[in-house]
Amino acid sequence: MDYPFTLPDRSGLNLALRPARYLSGLKILKDGVPLKRSMGIYTVPMANGTSLYLKLRVNLNLYNTPQIEYRDHVIDVLPALSGFWGFWGGGPFLLLGFVGHLVDWEHSPRLLLFLGFVLFGICFGIANTATFAVLRSHMSAHARCALALIITPLALVTFATVINLVHKLM
């Protein structure tokens, strides 16, 4: 799903942002074709032979919202999400701090603790990414909410099941 955007003084360009997919990163498209990137700067060729230069900036906040820098302007491309969805999508990472207080550090095997934290990060990293991808999709509002509310508990059940299996094997 591509998100169209316009530059402040160049409204005739057909530019869009394509969010990161499974194995590819963020891309800026002109007329549906990805632009070439060099040293973090995208070059937009113009019809008269000149070029415009865009820089992609990714905020490492809860929402991972990319912004585009053009001259002195910063363009927000993706729509903002409400605080509830930010908490819901990223909230499980807050649990990691509380898990440390519940662990019996003296009697737990170090390998199990390490695997637990790694699996926790993987499960909820995928859940966080999937939740925000669903919330920004073009599905109906009811489908987006239903899927977004199911993803995080599903990650919790997956984490608990896998860590329980690992614990039984050790």
The pTM of this model reads 0.58
Q: Are residues 45 and 97 in the same domain?
A: no
**pLDDT tens-digit map of 24-56:** 677 888 888 888 888 888 888 888 888 889 988
Same domain, 87 and 164: yes
Distance from C-alpha of 21 to C-alpha of 137, rounded to nearest angstrom: 13
Whether 112 and 157 share a structural domain: yes
Same domain, 123 and 160: yes
The range of the structural domain enclosing residue 60 comes to: 3-76
| Long-range Cβ contact pairs of 72-80 (< 8 A, separation 24 or more) | 73/7, 73/8, 75/5, 75/7, 75/8, 77/3, 77/5, 77/17, 78/3, 78/17, 78/19, 78/136, 79/136
Contact predicate 144/134, CB 8 Å: yes
Tens digit of pLDDT for each residue in 121-132? 888 888 877 887
71 and 139 fall within a common domain: no
Number of domain units in the chain:
2
Which of 53, 76, 99 marks a domain boundary?
76
